[in-house]
Structure 1
Amino acid sequence: MSTAILVVITGANAWTLNDGSKHPTGYWASEFIHPHQVFTKAGFDITIATPGGVEPTVDQVSLSPAMNGDDQASIDAQRAYLAELGDKLASPVVLEKIDPADFDAVYVTGGHGPMEDLSVHDGIGRVVTTLLGDPNKVVGAVCHGVAALLPARAEDGSWPFAGRKLTSLTDEEENLVGLAPKAPWLLESRLRAAGGQFQGGAAFAPYVVVDGNLVTGQNPASAGPSAEALVEVLAGK
């Protein structure tokens, strides 16, 4: 049997800032593409899901020259990859209807969108709680996608990720991109406050934390490496 992985993408196309304004966003292109490529190469059976089954919106900033080292070939390749997956991205599975028992792993992609929807979404909370509780399954997330761990709840109401080592986009990195002063809350700070054993690496450099069956990546550069780490962890099960 092939390994079944649930890839969760934000359904939000804007992030509500602390002044009430809407910051256009969505999912970060490379944080979906690179893991999808890794999971495809590993032969995984990939299911893409979003809240409500809405078609996800790619954050156009993630495809800008400034965010891709002025490498137009890379931008063109990313756009082509997304176009190739057009049908699957246009009709994702409804996250709320997912049965966690059907999957060996879940991986939550990033972009600022998860700060808007997945950070307060009971459906993803249920999925990550269930999979984390099975030592033979793996929970993975990258960058702002780690916000999807926040709504997880154990039966006693506690946060199942308390005491676990993890990472996400750091408060320093949010400051460097200029959005920290406008953010209603910061992910690293929220994860620490919830009881996560937060670990961070150098700004915008690849950094992955593996703690048992939990795999998290810090930023866009960590998307591919975190997906590869998830594949390795599952291979060891």
Structure 2
Amino acid sequence: MSKGKVLVAGSNANRIEIRGGGTGPTGQYLNELVVPVMALVDAGYDIAFATPDGSKPHIDPASDKVVHFDDEKAYRRAREFYDTSPVLNKVSTLRALIDGGLDQYDGFFAPGGQAPVVDLMQDGDLGEILRFFHAHSRPTAFLCHGPIASMAALPRPKEFRAALIAGDTARAAELGKGWPYAGYRMTVYSRSEEKPIEEQILHGQLYFDMPSALTIAGAEVNTGPDFAPHVVEDREMITGQNPRSDHPLASALIAALDRRRVNTKASNVSSAEKVSP
């Protein structure tokens, strides 16, 4: 029997803007998507997978390597899961899940790779989803660059992102008002971790870094040592810093979902006792 259902939001981006014009390759990181989803499935949770346009996310080639996994066997298992599992091959649009009713979902997860920086952070449907999960205090997890997707919950996320790209910090700070997660402690891919990707893969610099963007909107950002596992929990939000945080974040999310399940059952029993004759 299923323990509940988790909404997983993916990105459709495969290019990201770089300073001076042009774009570089991007996508979702294979381990950041698959490792937590596999852990959720193994723990007994169902998955509803969605992206803005309803197509399957592009995997960043830089992540499609054994180095991001425990060993060759783990990599092969993850790759096969991404390629063949119905869990990740039945993709809905975010809007379709909203229209189907968000109350059926017990938790939320968004993986990283730089792709969410392009589309998810300014997606209005994702903003609606996140505001629902925040209002109902349901476990909400983001990994690596994933926390930047929480910007979608801003009143005007597209304008906020445009201000960041323009380097207009004052304007971004003004547009950052009203963010539901202001004051939350969280982590995200650090500026120093970003540099090797910019130098070796993008061959250019991003218009803004993730910690600064979250800080401008009011987050209390805490980053640990580069490329070491680091997870931060504050209220319903769970954030992981980098690809190495995949397993710890999955464990933290499952624990939060299990706690909610126990608390919901206890609340239902208490309510039933109160109405019993």
TM-score normalised to structure 1 length: 0.90
Is residue 63 from structure 1 mapped to residue 64 from structure 2 by the alignment? Answer: yes
Letter of the 1:125 partner, please give it.
Answer: G
More displaced stretch, 212-221 vs 97-106: 97-106
Structure 1 residue aligned with 2:104: 102
CA shift in 2, pair 1:171/1:56, >3 Å: same
Is residue 236 from structure 1 mapped to residue 256 from structure 2 by the alignment? Answer: no
Is residue 139 from structure 1 mapped to residue 140 from structure 2 by the alignment? Answer: yes
Deviation at 1:38, TM superposition (A): 1.1
What are the within-5 Å matches in structure 2 for residues 29-178 of structure 1? 29-64=30-65, 67-68=67-68, 72-85=72-85, 87-99=86-98, 100-135=102-137, 137-153=138-154, 158-178=178-198
Structure 1 residue aligned with 2:268: none
The DSSP-based 3-state class of the residue aligned with 2:149 is helix
Structure 2 residue aligned with 1:200: 223
CA shift in 2, pair 1:91/1:162, >3 Å: same
Deviation at 1:71, TM superposition (A): 5.4
> What are the superposed Cα offsets for residues 154-182 of structure 1, whole Å, 9 maximum, x if unpaired?
7xx60001000111101121124335961
CA shift in 2, pair 1:68/1:5, >3 Å: closer
Deviation at 1:78, TM superposition (A): 2.8
The answer to whether the 8 Å contact 2:3/2:45 transfers is yes
CA shift in 2, pair 1:69/1:164, >3 Å: closer
Taking the aligned partners of 2:196 and 2:230, their CA distance within structure 1 comes to 17
Alignment RMSD: 2.2
Letter of the 1:153 partner, please give it.
Answer: L
Letter of the 1:63 partner, please give it.
Answer: D
Unaligned runs of 5+ in 2: 156-176, 261-277
Taking the aligned partners of 2:181 and 2:59, their CA distance within structure 1 comes to 28
What are the within-5 Å matches in structure 2 for residues 15-26 of structure 1? 15-26=16-27
CA shift in 2, pair 1:88/1:46, >3 Å: closer
The answer to whether the 8 Å contact 2:240/2:249 transfers is yes
- Higher-Rg structure is 2
The answer to whether the 8 Å contact 1:146/1:216 transfers is yes
Q: How many equivalent pairs are there?
A: 233
Unaligned runs of 5+ in 1: none
Structure 2 residue aligned with 1:187: 210
The answer to whether the 8 Å contact 1:56/1:90 transfers is no
The answer to whether the 8 Å contact 2:69/2:75 transfers is no
The answer to whether the 8 Å contact 2:17/2:24 transfers is yes
Taking the aligned partners of 1:208 and 1:170, their CA distance within structure 2 comes to 13
Is residue 2 from structure 1 mapped to residue 3 from structure 2 by the alignment? Answer: yes
Q: Which has the higher helix share?
A: 2
The DSSP-based 3-state class of the residue aligned with 1:53 is coil
CA shift in 2, pair 1:224/1:69, >3 Å: closer
The DSSP-based 3-state class of the residue aligned with 1:185 is coil
The answer to whether the 8 Å contact 1:128/1:149 transfers is yes
CA shift in 2, pair 1:160/1:69, >3 Å: closer
Identical residues among aligned pairs (%): 29
Taking the aligned partners of 2:92 and 2:197, their CA distance within structure 1 comes to 32
Deviation at 1:88, TM superposition (A): 4.6
Structure 2 residue aligned with 1:226: 249
The answer to whether the 8 Å contact 2:31/2:68 transfers is no
TM-score normalised to structure 2 length: 0.78
Deviation at 1:153, TM superposition (A): 3.2
The DSSP-based 3-state class of the residue aligned with 1:47 is strand
CA shift in 2, pair 1:72/1:38, >3 Å: closer
The answer to whether the 8 Å contact 2:31/2:69 transfers is no
Taking the aligned partners of 1:116 and 1:138, their CA distance within structure 2 comes to 24
The answer to whether the 8 Å contact 1:126/1:153 transfers is no
CA shift in 2, pair 1:44/1:117, >3 Å: same
